Amino acid sequence: MIYANLFKQAEYSARFEWGYEGARQLGLGSSIIVIIDVLSFSTCVDVVVGRGGSVFPYRFKDETARLYAEQKGALLAGRRGERISLSPAALQSIPVNSRIVLPSPNGSTCTVLAKESKATVIAACLRNASAVADYIRERKETVTLIACGERWPNGALRPAIEDIIAAGAILSELNEHTLSPEAQMAVAAYTSAKRELAWFLEQSGSGQELIRSGYLEDVQVAGQFNGSQHVPVLNDAGAYETMRLE
């Protein structure tokens, strides 16, 4: 137990960690958990809530997801290329006030795990980094930022630079918080990349994967730094809905 506690960054009010275990291990000691999956879950969430919609995260894209969508009276996201999918560019044209179930092995799964901690869970990306930082500063509570990363073919976590950069952008504005060493390294990543955010996003492994598959616009939408004032907050019904900061 003592060994496990070494990794919870408990002495600090702003923390940073990766993936499923980060959400599990650090979530219980946090008042706010920020889920960051820039390409593309949390960017999709920001786009949908910006149109007055709701996003229900779901871990699996299978028959149970279809049943869950029916239960929630929501549309189930399909494959990229369909009108409703894990594509921020496509979601920009959905009807306002849409209710969507968005399965994802990264952002959705980390959201579900974070929810178990009973903390306030919010979704962040490059588009709403400053809005999320404002939300955190107003509450002056302990916060953990979770970079969801991607998956290698064997299911193992693949750290994604776009997620640590977005985390660093938020953490860099939390001047009244004490940042853990891990959080400080996220800030360093953002500081290194901030003059060329679009380049880093497009040249990252995740960015190149999308671009080579024909989804450059998804990367461009994700790179609209601080273009949104919406803070998606997970509600009691299990959906992200917006809190707009004026």
Is 210 within 8 Å of 198 (Cβ atoms)?
Answer: no
Task: Please indicate, yes or no, if residue 160 is contained in any of the structural domains.
Answer: yes
In-domain check, residue 164? yes
Q: What is the pLDDT of residue 80?
A: 86
Domain-located, residue 2: no
* Tokens of residue 55, six digits: 């996003």
167 contacts 186 by C-beta, under 8 angstroms: yes
Tell me which residue range forms the domain holding 191.
12-241
- Residue 218 in contact with residue 210, Cβ under 8 Å? yes
CA 97-101-104 angle, 5° bins:
130
- From first CA to last CA, the distance across the chain in angstroms is 44
Q: How far apart are the C-alpha atoms of 174 and 143, rounded to whole Å?
A: 10
- Residue 5: inside a domain, yes or no? no
pLDDT of the residue at 60:
87
Q: Can you give the three-state secondary structure of 207-228, one letter per residue?
A: HHHHHHCCCHHHHHHHCCCCCC
Instruction: Name the DSSP class of 195.
Output: G
Cα dihedral sign, 126-144-206-100:
negative
CATH of residue 99: 3.90.1560.10
pLDDT digits (tens, 9 = 90+) for 159-201: 999 999 999 999 999 999 999 999 999 999 999 999 999 999 9
Q: How many structural domains is the chain composed of?
A: 1
Longest C-alpha distance within the chain, in Å?
A: 51
User: Could you give the 3-state DSSP secondary structure of residue 234?
Assistant: strand
Of the pLDDT bands very low, low, confident and very high (cuts 50, 70, 90), residue 82 is: confident
Q: What are phi and psi of 101, to 5 degrees?
A: -95, 125
- Backbone Cα Rg of the chain: 17
| Total-model pTM | 0.96
Residue 4 lies in a domain: no
Minimal CA–CA distance to 168: which of 22, 11, 15, 8?
15
**Does 1 map to a domain?**
no
* Cβ contacts of 199 within 8 Å, gap of 6 or more: none
Question: In this predicted model, what pLDDT tens digit does every residue of 99-122 receive, in sequence order?
Answer: 999 999 999 999 999 999 999 999
Pair type for strands 143-147 and 32-36: parallel
Say if 31 falls within a structural domain: yes
Order of strands, edge to edge, in the sheet holding 240-244?
14-18, 143-147, 32-36, 120-124, 230-234, 240-244, 54-58, 99-103, 75-76
